[in-house]
Chains A and B, each alone.
Chain A
Amino acid sequence: MNNRSGTNKTAAFDSRKISLKSLTPYIFIGPALIALIMLVIYPLCYGVFISFFKTNLSNKWDFVALKNYISIFSDKTFISQIWVTLKFTFLVVAAHFVIGVLLGMVLNQKKAGITFFRAVLVLPWLFPEVVVALIFKWIMNPLYGLVNNYLLDAGLINDHISWLGDTRFAFIAVVLVCIWKGYPLVMVNVLAGLQSVSEDIYEAAKMDGANKVQTFFRIVLPSIKPVLTTTLVLDTVWWFKHYTIVYLLTKGGPGSDTSIISIEIYKQAFEYFNFGKAAAMSVIVFFICLVISKLYRRFLDNEE
C-alpha cells in the first residue's frame, strides 16, 4: 500500500532531521496502535484459544485440539452456510457500490434542494439495525404489511405473499433490506472523496476533450480509489460477518435459505453453548475475510 511518490519525498525530510526520523512516525501512529493493542489483542487471542477447547467458560475446560475444526468440516451444512454467506455478501456489497457511487456522484452537484436530498438519502444509515429489521418485518408482513396491501389493491397479486417466509422470495427480500440499510456508507464516502478532488482536474479533462464517461474512469475513479478500496474491503468484511438484520427478519429460515454463518455462530455460542465450536467457526470466518481482503488489495492496488 506504500505510496511510492510519498516515500521519495519523505526521503528528503529524513536526511534533514536524522535525530527524529526514527521516532516521529511512531508518535503519529502510536495512539491508534496503543488503543487497539490494549483492547483488541486479548479478545482476538481468547477467541482463537477457546477454539481448541470444549468449554462452558466457567468450570469446564477440556482441551480437544482440532476436534472442533474437524467436526465443522465433517458437516456439509457449514459449507453450505459459507456459500449462502458469500452469495449474500456479494449481492449486498455490489449493490452498495453501484447505488452508493451513483448517488454520490449525483449528490456531488450544486443543484437546488441538494442538501435536502443528501439528508434524506443518508437516513437508512442513521437508524439502529434492530429498528430497521423490525420495521421491514412489519412492512412485509403477509396480512397487515404495507407491501401486500398495496400490491393487492393494485391487483398485481391476488394472494397474500409471504416475502420473508417463502423460499422464492426470502433470500432476495433479506438482501434488499440489507442493501437499503448499507448503501449510505458508500454514498457518503464517495461524496467526501469527490469533494476532495479539485475542480481544476475536471476543467483540465474537459479542455482535453474528454467526455463524461472518460472523465469518470480516467479522473474521478482513480482519485477516489483509495477511499473506495478501503470502503470495499471493510464493507465486505462487515457484511460477511453480519448478523442482526438477517437474524431478526428470518432467523436463517425458511429452511436454510438465509442461514448465513453468523447466525450459526451465534446459535452455537449462545443457544447451544458450544463455545469452542463457535470460536472455531469464527476463526475460519476470520481467515476467509483475510483472504478476501488480500485478493481485493492485490487486484486493486496493482499499479502501486
Chain B
Amino acid sequence: MKKRLLVIVLCFAMAASMLAGCGSSSAGDSQNSQGASSGTSSAAAANSDEEVTLTVMSTLITETEAPLEQAMADAYMKEHQNVKIKFLEQPVNEMAKKIIALNTSGDLPDAFFMPTEFMAQAHDMGIIVDHEKLLGPEFISTLNEKVVEFGKIEGQLMLVPWHVIPVALIARADWMKDAGIDKIETVADFQTAAKAFTKDGHWGFSMVGTKNGSGEARFCQFIRTFGVNEVYKDASGKWVSDLTTDKYKKALQTFVDLSKKDGVVPPGVTETGYPEAVAYFAKEQTGLMISGSNAIGAIESANPALKGKLVSIPMPADERHVTNLQTSGYAITTECKNPEAMADYLKFMTSKDIAVDFAIKSGRLPVTKEAISAPELQTDSFKGFLDCMQYALPQPSFPAYTEILDIMGDSYNTMLATNRTIDEIMKTVETRLKSVLEANN
C-alpha cells in the first residue's frame, strides 16, 4: 500500500511538473517572440524594410463592417510590404473590460477601438499617447474641427479620428409626403409627424426606451435640444448639471408623453432596445427614429425595399439643434512600439477615397473636411447627418459621465414603466445627481 501511494504521489508530481513545464515553456516562447518583435520593430522606425507587426483590437468584427476594415488593412499592407497588421477581435460592449484586464499585466495592443463611453476612463488611466503631437498639425488641420473637439478629454485627443456617427432623426420620406409634411424642424413638428404616422397599425416613432447606453445616448440628444446640458463646468470650474432644472422636467415629460399620452410609440417601449427599434422601422411598423448614421445601412439591409425612401433630418429643436458626433477611431496605447507606423496606417484609413467608400457602405461618415464634402455623400439619407455636424457639442469630460447617463436612463425608463409622478422622479434625479457631483468635485 505504501508503494502504491508512493506511485500516486509520483504521478501527481510528474503531472504537476508537466503542467508547470508546459506553462513555463509557453511563457518562454511568448517572451521570446515578444522580444524578437520589439527588437525588429524599434529598428523599423529607422529602416522601412524591416518587418513591423501592428496589433489592432477591433470591435467591428461583430458588425457588418468587418470585411470592409479587413480590406483597408490588406490595401495598406500591399502598399507597405514590411508592415503586418494583426487584428484582435473584441465586441464593443466588452472592450473596456478587456483593456483594463490587459493593462494590469502590461499586455495592451498597439491600438484599440475606443468606445465613446470609455474615453474619460482611458484618459484617467493614462494609457493613451499624445495623438495630436504624433499626428502632427498638418494632418489635424485636414480634419473637421468639431470632430477633433469631440474626440478630446481635457485637451487630450483620445483617438485618431476615423469616422463619425452623428445622431439625427431618420424619417420615412414617403410617409411624410403622404401626410403632407415637408419639414420636421421643431419638437412640435416632430410630434405632429409622429401623430400623423400613427394609424393603420403603424406607430410614429421607434423610441429606444431601455435603460442602457444606447437608449440613454438618444435620450440625451433629445433633452439637449431643450437647452439642457447634462453636465458641464461652471465659471468657477465646478461640475454642475441642468438635470434638476425645469427645462429637463419639460423635456422628460415631452419624451414620456410620446408614449404614454400621444401613443405614437409601439407597445413595450421600456424593453425596446436598439435592435428592436431598428426591426420595427425596417418592418415598416414605425416611421421615425433617433439614431446614428449607421442605422441607415442596418435598416436598408434588413429591408432593401426601403432604399431611397429614407431621409435624415437634424434633431428637431425645442431651443437648439444638437448632435452627438460619436467620433470613433483607434487609440494608440503607450505600449505601442511603433507609434509612427501605427499612426501612418490610421491616417491611411481616413484618406478620401477609402473613407467615402466606407461611408456609403457602412453609414459611418468621414472625418476629413475633403471627404465630408464629397458629392457621393450628398444624398437624402445622409444629408441630415452631414448638416447636423455643425451643431455638435463636445463630449463632457466628466469622469463619471456614464453615471450621469444612467441617472437619465433611470428617469425616463421608470417614468415610462410606472405611475410615479414626474416630481417623484425629479427628486430621485436630484439625490443621485448630488452624490455623483459631490464625489467628483
Contact = CB atoms under 8 A, between A and B. Distances in A.
Interface stretch (B187-195, B219-227, B410-418): B410-418
A141 interface: yes
Contacts of A164: 268, 270-271
Dominant secondary structure of chain B at its interface with chain A: helix
Given A58-B103, A143-B285, A165-B417, A250 B406 contact: no
Contacts of A272: 400, 402-403, 406
A45 interface: no
Nearest to B400: A272
Contacts of A59: 125-126
A165 B272 contact: yes
Contact of B270 (A17, A30, A34, A254): A254
A159 B266 CA distance: 11
Contacts of A163: 268, 271
Nearest to A255: B414
Interface stretch (B2-10, B159-167, B356-364): B2-10
Interface size bracket, A side: 35 or more
Which label, helix, strand, loop or mixed, suits the secondary structure of the A interface? loop
Contact of B126 (A58, A159, A165, A166): A58
A255 B124 contact: no
Given A143-B280, A143-B285, A255 B117 contact: no
Given A20-B2, A27-B8, A143-B280, A58 B127 contact: yes
Interface in B266-309: 266-272, 276, 279-280, 283, 285
Given A59-B126, A272-B402, A253 B267 contact: no
B121 A56 contact: yes
A247 B279 CA distance: 21
Contacts of B103: 57-58
B12 interface: yes
B406 A267 contact: yes
Interface in A104-151: 137, 141-144
A271 B211 CA distance: 13
Contacts of B104: 57-58
B416 A271 contact: no
Contacts of B100: 57-58, 270
A144 B16 CA distance: 55
Interface string B197-230: 0000000000001111100000000000000000
B403 A253 contact: no
Nearest to A268: B403
B1 interface: yes
A225 interface: no
Contacts of B268: 141-143, 160-166
Contacts of A167: 417-418
A185 to B, nearest CB: 27
Contacts of A229: none
B194 to A, nearest CB: 17
Interface of A: 17, 19-20, 23-24, 27, 30-31, 34, 56-60, 71, 75, 137, 141-144, 159-167, 170, 250-257, 267, 270-274
15 contacts: A56-B124, A56-B125, A58-B127, A141-B268, A159-B267, A161-B268, A162-B267, A164-B268, A165-B417, A167-B418, A254-B413, A255-B420, A256-B410, A270-B100, A272-B400
